[in-house]
Structure 1
Amino acid sequence: MAVLVYNWSADWTPEQYQAVHDRVLPDPTNPPAGLLAHVASPSDRGGWQVIDVWESEADFRRFTEEKVIPAAQDLGAPPFETKVTEIYNHLIP
């Protein structure tokens, strides 16, 4: 089942996000298996937020644990909160 993933940190900056993004996804035309949509922006709570749609929570967890967290730690980026919700319906044209 598809999931909506919300990541947020009050301590992340656009520069930290971009550095991690560039490392884990050097070719945006070749997204990781299971990623359906990815959006990143400043948060109205401060800091930075990333909202994704994944085919499954397992796909999201695998990519995050194998790629995102190691890259963020390497670059000295702070931890982030994650919330995962099952999606009832989605349309990605």
Structure 2
Amino acid sequence: MTVLVYNKGVSWTRELYQTAFDRIMPDRSKPPAGLVVHIGAPLPDGGWQVIDVWETEAQFRDFMRDVVAPVAQEIGAPPFETKVMEVHNLLIP
């Protein structure tokens, strides 16, 4: 089942996000298995949000455990609030 993953980090900044992203995804031509789309953007009132679409929730959870969590711990990043939702329609023209 395809899922949308919404992450919100009110303590995150553009710089912190970019540092994490650069370490997590050093080669943009080789995205993790199952990742359909990734979007990082500022929140209107400060902080940062990340919106991903994954082929399965299991692929997302594995990536978080094996790749994201170690990097976040290494750089001392505060946690995101995460919501996972089933995707009803997905159109990528």
C-alpha deviation, 1:46, in angstroms: 2.2
1:1-35, CA deviations, whole angstroms, 9 ceiling, x for partnerless residues? 10000001100011111111111110111100000
Gaps of 5+ in 1: none
Partner of 1:31, secondary structure, is: coil
Is 1:88 matched up with 2:88?
A: yes
TM-score (norm 2): 0.96
Q: Is there any run of 5+ residues in structure 2 with no aligned partner, and where?
A: none
Deviations 1:38-64 (A, max 9, x none): 000001242000000000000000001
- Report how many aligned residue pairs link the two structures: 93
| Structure 1 runs of 4+ with >6 Å offset | none
- 1:30-45 → structure 2 map (5 Å cutoff): 30-45=30-45
1:26-65 alignment runs, 5 A limit: 26-65=26-65
- TM-score, L = length of structure 1: 0.96
Cα distance in 2 between the residues matched to 1:45 and 1:60: 27
State the identity %. Answer: 59
Q: What is the alpha-carbon root mean square deviation over aligned residues?
A: 0.8
Is 1:16 the counterpart of 2:13 in the alignment? no
